[in-house]
Each structure stands twice: as C-alpha cells, then as structure tokens.
Structure 1
Amino acid sequence: MHILFLTDNFPPEVNAPASRTFEHCREWVKAGHQVTVITCVPNFPQGKVFEGYSNRLWQREEMAGIRVIRVWSYITANEGFIRRVLDYQSFMMSAFLAALFVRRVDVVIGTSPQFFTVCAAYAVSRCKRIPFVFELRDLWPESIKAVGAMQESAVIRLLERLELFLYRKAARIVSVTHSFKKKLIERGIDADKISVVTNGVDMSRFKPMVKDEILLRELRLEGKFVAGYVGTHGLAHHLETLLDAAEEIHRLPEGSTFHFILLGDGARKQALKDEAARRKLDNVTFIDSVPKDQVARYWSLLDVSIIHLKKTDLFTTVIPSKLFECMGMGLPVLHGVAGESADIVRDERAGIVFEPENADELVAHLKLLQKDRAAYEGYRTHSLEAAKKYDRKAMAMKMLDVITQSVRKQ
C-alpha cells in the first residue's frame, strides 16, 4: 500500500504533530508499506527556516525510509490570524499541486490542527479517486475562539461549515481523543467512521535516565528540585501560572531548593521572559528549543514535569502529547489540565491533577513531592507502567488498521 500523508509539521521540527507523523510513518514503512510525506520546510515555532534548508518550490529527501517532499509556503511566525491563514493556505495549494505528481497512491491522509491541509487531502482524494482519512488533532476553529484569537463572526461560522463538510467527506476520521469523537457524534457525524488513536511515546527515546551531569553544571542546577515545562509557549498554555508559582516559592524559606525550567518556543515566549525579568525570578530558566535527539537529555534534568493549559472548557477534550513522554521518562506529573487527560493521570496514578491557572495548588503539590519521597516514588513507578499502554509502535499499528480498512472499503 502507498500512503500519502499531508502535514505542515515534520522533523526536524520537534512539536507533537511532527513527532506523531514521523513515528507513525516510520512504523508503516517497517511494516512494508510505501509512505510519501508532503510537508513544508521546517520553521515551527519561530517562523524561521531551519539552518540547512531553503524555502524552495520543491525539494526531496528521505528519512527512515519515508519519502519526504518539501514544498514552498508563505512562512510567518505565529503572530496574527491573517498571516497564519496565509501560511496555511499557501501550503494547502502547494501540497495539493505536489500531490498530483505522486504516482500510484492508495490513500491520502490530511492532519489538523488547522484543516486547510485537510482541504488539500480531500481535493487530492477526488482527483485521484482514492479514500481520504482525516486525522483530527484539534477542534479547529473552536480552539481559535478558546484562546481568544478570534471572536464569533461570519468568518468563524464559514470555517465551521467547512469543518463539518470535511468530516462528512472523509472515508475515516482518526481522532486523538475520545472527547473529540464524542463532540463529532453530537454534531451529527457517523460514529462508525470515527476511530480513536491517542498520542503515545517512542519508548526507544524516552526512558528513565540519570540526570545529565554536563547540563546540570551548565544550568547550575546541582542540588535543586527541578520542575519543568517542555513544549510550546503559546496562548493556549497560560504559562504565567508557572511564573506565579515560581514567585510564590521564591518567598518561602525553603524556596532556594526549587528551580523551574521552561524549554521550547512560541508566540508567548518573549513576553514570558520579560515578565520573569520584571519580577526578578532567578529561580526560572528559559531554554530555547533543542534538536529532537537532545530533548531526552533535558527531560532527565527534571524531578517533576508540569503540564498546563488555559482554563477553558475546550481543553477538557484534549490530551497533551507530552503527558506520554513524561510517563516514558518515569516522571511524576503535575497536571494543570481538566477533563480526559486528567482522568488518565488519576486512573494511572502517574501524578497529581491541579486546577488550571491555580498557582497556589501547584506550589502545594510541588512541596509535597519534594518532601514525601514515598509518594514521589509511587507516582514515578506508576508513570513508567502507564507508558507501556501508549507505546507509539502499537498506536501506529492501530492507525494502520484504520487506513487499511478505508482502502479495502473503497
């Protein structure tokens, strides 16, 4: 089977969509299938082309047996709705045109969060008369409203109609959460065409490690209880809560033993750095994004991982992918997200759930995990056990079954 996958995020980018797509495609190639990925040049999240790449009309490379075609797109930082839409639409057009030249394709997959890429996948499916699979990673454009980027308007309503059209036209929908599936069913989408394949963890890369001594010295973290956030610094993440917690801990008698790390980039990164400097928070260290093969070294520095999203009903339906990487590393999780992902943390006993945007609760749980070694080790053990249920190889094979069924049905 020849699988064509359209995505605007792919390695060497290190965000969740890039990792999921690469790791799934890698396993499909190992299973004997041909996989072609059409993507753009790596530029996320800063909107700058990565070193060693250029934004050309067409370029090819191979990664782990995956044929990768990179096409031109309008590149901009994650600043301003209009510019981002131009970015998405330019990739949609370029990806569609490039896909027409890929021969003997059996199925095309388009992935969200934004669904202009999915529009291209649908158009390709019509031209090539092949099934189209919609990988649903976010309820877009609902998430635009949730973070306050846009209010209810004629544009939003138009996007919602387009969203429903794509759901209905897809041969199969692969949702990353059960909550998304439930939402789609409530909106009239046939439940039988929706499968859930959650995110997972590449257990060959994310596993328990001793703290990296070189990084400990470089970052002056010897003897510290290190709490860390690893991921995008965007509007949805409301990382000001972590700064509030750092400020509160700074005032405690034992505050000097705690340190916070925030690793990654995003639209709010500079504003967060400026705010930390204004508050004189010397217990917070910001680290820019690092290459994929270096991420685990930085995870190793953490005693506990913090996962956080803005307090809004929409985010009760999401499962942050970093949760599974925390499990793989054997890290207790302080989980500031309500809903389905919080249920996983509780059920697996992988950490402690706290109210989003509640810095006082976060501080209380940090103090508990530092002092109560038995509780800490219990969360660590359960986290490692839970990771086995979300092995990326198993998730890739589950999605491959869905793809195969869509091709057979066609």
Structure 2
Amino acid sequence: MYKIWIVTSGEPVPSETERLHRTGMLSTLLAENGNIVTWWTTSFDHQLKQYLVEANLKVKMKHNLDLYYLHAKTPYFKNISWQRIKNHSEVANSFQKCAQSEEVPDIIVCSFPTIDLAYEAVYYGKKHNVPVVVDVRDLWPDIFLNIAPKFLRPLFKIPLHKMFSKTDFILQGATSITAVSQSYLNWGLKYAKRSGKNTDAVFPLCYNATELPKQSTTEKQLFKESLLLDTSKINIWFVGTFGKTYDLETVIKTAEKIKDNYPNIHFVLTGDGENYKQWKELAQKLPNVTFTGWIGREKLAYIGSIASIGLMAYAKGAPQGLPNKIFEYMSYGLPILSSLDTETKDLLEEENIGLTYKANDADDLIEKITSLIADPIELKEKGERARDLYMTKYDSEIIYNNFMQFLYKAIAQYKNEK
C-alpha cells in the first residue's frame, strides 16, 4: 500500500500497562492494513518525565510498524518551562537529521503541537514533494497568551513571535488540516488563511473500549484493596493530567463542603502532574477524597467499572473542545459532569448524557452533583445513553477507519493534482 510517517511528540508509546492513544491506534491500524508505517516519537516520556532511550533509535514494533525515537539532550520536569522549549527544539533537530537517511514517504501525518516538530515535518514535505496532514490537537501558541490579562497580551506576544511565525508556516503549508473538534479545525483554518476543503476533516479523540482488560473477581478484589475504594459509594471520578488547564481545587472545595451532608459521595482523583502535590496537600484531611496517582490500564478499567460519574474538571477559559476524557467516560457508560463551556457542553445537552457546571464554582458543582444523583434511574439512563452513543459514533474502530480512508484519498488527490 503506502509508506506513511506519523509524527507525534509526547504520546505514550506501547507497553503492557499503557493503552494506545490516537497515534498508537492509527499507526497500528495502518500497519495492519498493509501500509509501511514509521511512528516518530520522542526519547523523553512526557507523562513520567523520564528518558525511554538516550539516543536516536529506530525499533521494530511489529510487522510494518517501526517506532523511531528522537533524542533530546535536555529533560524537563515542568510542562511550562524553558527546558521544555529547548527539549522541543532538540527533538525537531533530531527529526531533521534522521529523516534525511529514510526513504521518502507517500504522506506525513504530523500532530500539532509541538510547533518545532511540526515545522520540520512541513518543511520536509515541501522539500520532498510529500503531502503533509497537520492534526490539530491543542491551540499553541495562543494558549500561552491566556495567562496574561487581555490588555497585556500584545506585549506577551512579542517574545512568542517565533512561535506564531512558525505556526503560520505550518498551517499555511499543510496539504490538509485535521483536528479533534470543529472549533480546533476552524482555528487551524484561520491560521491557514483559507476556508475548509474536502481534504480537511474532524476526527474526534476516542477511546478503544475493546482494549479494556477483562478482570476476574479475584483481580477486582485486589484492586479494591490496593486502591482503598468503597464500591457502595457514589464515586465521582476524575482522570487526567494535573496541569494548568485543570481545576481540582474547586473539586476539593466541593468535597469539603459536602462531606457531612453527603457521606455517600466520594471523589476519586487519578493522574499526576505539576499540581499533584499542591492539590493532595489541600485535600489531606478530607475522608471523601482519594488520590490514586498515575495508574496502569488494568486499574483504570477497574475504577471505570465502579465509578458512578465521570468528572471533567477544567479551569475557567480552558480551550478544550472535545477532549479524550469525554469519550473515555462514555466508553465506561458513565454520565458526565463537565466545566467546559465548549463543544463538550453542547454534546452533553444534545445527547442528555450529563451536566455542565460553572468552572471555579464549588456551589454550582454541588448543585449539579445533587441534581444528577437525585434520580438514580435517570443517572443510570444517562450512563447507558453515553455508552450507546460511544459505540455507535465514537468508537475508535469507526473513527480511525475513517481517518485511514481519509489519508488514502489525500494521497490520491495530491498525486492527481501534481
């Protein structure tokens, strides 16, 4: 079939404990369908903040699929730091160097961000006459301006000039633009300075429910004991990165306020990140909050099976449209509580699978929680609708088969136009 490069920085690579994400699922599907796939990734694990390898290294993962680690000498331990910026630059330089010795592909799919790596992928495509699909997953560099008051943003933009200039080059130079939501695609097209066309598309983030490990009664009991969770309670579950765009402080304030009147409600907070220590200390005296830390897919599947509600706790103004978390919770059949005032809010309302609370407002979160749990039958029905919607529209097999066919058409159209 085709020789395809998938270029992504920061996504977990395959392991026994880590499930496949967007690039992993797409790469695997393409390889299984006879394509020769190279998945370009980084030597530094973004989640664990540690090196996987310490050199540029190409590894055979399975038939038709290679994993190419791009090394950066500079590690980083905070998501917002100069070390991370330097790391991204070094990864891009490694790609530029290593790509020269590889056979030219038929198409490149490059995640955006990171900016530096996407820039090198588009530059390579232009130089070698290869179509490049830029897959928009986050709104860099715009999100960096959000930390400043609006009246100061023009000044903040000055030191970010190079990032903005590269973003213009990337999106204006892309053959096609894909995105995880319509609002993200619209954002990309605005930078591209053009309207959409038939080689642009939206492919939501999704979750591979078929990979959920089946667990015996003994395994479930072991997980229950190790995680110290009470399955008789209403477990409200958050899973994600404890970073700047999330807001667990409001969740902890909510737990503090309801601990006496609603002793049957328990908050389970799963993940890790730069705010982990701060938020855990804030909740250390609360009996109705459990921090599980970063856990593997078996324990994730267990918590998903005993949770009552999936929580999407984002900070006010968070830009996420349809993040992966909504589909993960849907795959578990959980009704959803979200603070996103974006496409997620529209989906929850239109499909009647959850509620939206006001970001940074503990009282409103309490109101929405009590509203959800007031009718156990309706709560169960919301979860069932979420699961049905996931299986019929957002299952990974559906999404990534469509993505694969899209890439085939993009290759054919590019060849016809040349």
Instruction: Give me the TM-score of the superposition, normalised by structure 1.
Output: 0.90
Instruction: Tell me the CA shift for residue 65 of structure 1.
Output: 5.0
Say whether residues 1:229 and 2:238 are aligned partners. yes
Which residue is 2:341 aligned to?
Answer: 338
Instruction: Tell me the CA shift for residue 125 of structure 1.
Output: 1.3
SS in 2 for 1:87: helix
Which residue is 2:45 aligned to?
Answer: 43
1:90 and 1:295 mapped to 2: Cα distance? Answer: 33
Q: Is the 8 A contact 2:337 2:357 kept in 1?
A: yes
Residue type at the aligned position of 2:234: F
Which residue is 2:282 aligned to?
Answer: 275
Instruction: Tell me the CA shift for residue 141 of structure 1.
Output: 0.6
Q: Is the 8 A contact 1:43 1:75 kept in 2?
A: no
Residue type at the aligned position of 1:260: F
2:306 and 2:97 mapped to 1: Cα distance? Answer: 45
Gaps (5+ residues) in structure 1? none
Say whether residues 1:311 and 2:316 are aligned partners. yes
Aligned equivalent of 2:25, options 23, 26, 50: 23
Say whether residues 1:199 and 2:205 are aligned partners. yes
Residue type at the aligned position of 2:50: K
Instruction: Tell me the CA shift for residue 381 of structure 1.
Output: 1.2
2:103 and 2:11 mapped to 1: Cα distance? Answer: 22
Deviations 1:170-197 (A, max 9, x none): 0001111101222344452331153111
Alpha-carbon spacing, 1:328–1:113, altered in 2? closer, same or farther (3 Å): same
1:387 and 1:230 mapped to 2: Cα distance? Answer: 18
Q: Structure 2 matches for 1:229-378, cutoff 5 A? A: 229-250=238-259, 252-254=260-262, 256-277=263-284, 280-312=285-317, 315=319, 318-378=321-381
Q: Is the 8 A contact 2:106 2:131 kept in 1?
A: yes
1:344 and 1:27 mapped to 2: Cα distance? Answer: 27
2:23 and 2:299 mapped to 1: Cα distance? Answer: 19
Instruction: Give me the TM-score of the superposition, normalised by structure 2.
Output: 0.88
Instruction: Tell me the CA shift for residue 45 of structure 1.
Output: 2.1
Deviations 1:67-110 (A, max 9, x none): 11112113212244311111111111112222222214111121
- Backbone CA RMSD of aligned residues: 2.7
Q: Is the 8 A contact 1:24 1:392 kept in 2?
A: no
Gaps (5+ residues) in structure 2? none
1:56 and 1:125 mapped to 2: Cα distance? Answer: 24
Deviations 1:143-196 (A, max 9, x none): 122255995231223322221221110000111110122234445233115311
Of 188-197 and 203-212, more deviation after overlay is shown by: 203-212
SS in 2 for 1:155: coil
2:206 and 2:315 mapped to 1: Cα distance? Answer: 22
Instruction: Tell me the CA shift for residue 210 of structure 1.
Output: 10
Alpha-carbon spacing, 1:224–1:264, altered in 2? closer, same or farther (3 Å): same
Of 29-38 and 171-180, more deviation after overlay is shown by: 29-38
Instruction: Tell me the CA shift for residue 63 of structure 1.
Output: 4.9
Instruction: Tell me the CA shift for residue 235 of structure 1.
Output: 0.5
Instruction: Tell me the CA shift for residue 264 of structure 1.
Output: 0.8
- Residue-pair matches, total: 401
Q: Is the 8 A contact 1:113 1:140 kept in 2?
A: yes
Deviations 1:259-291 (A, max 9, x none): 1111111121111112223xx222211122123
1:324 and 1:80 mapped to 2: Cα distance? Answer: 27
Q: Is the 8 A contact 2:14 2:24 kept in 1?
A: no
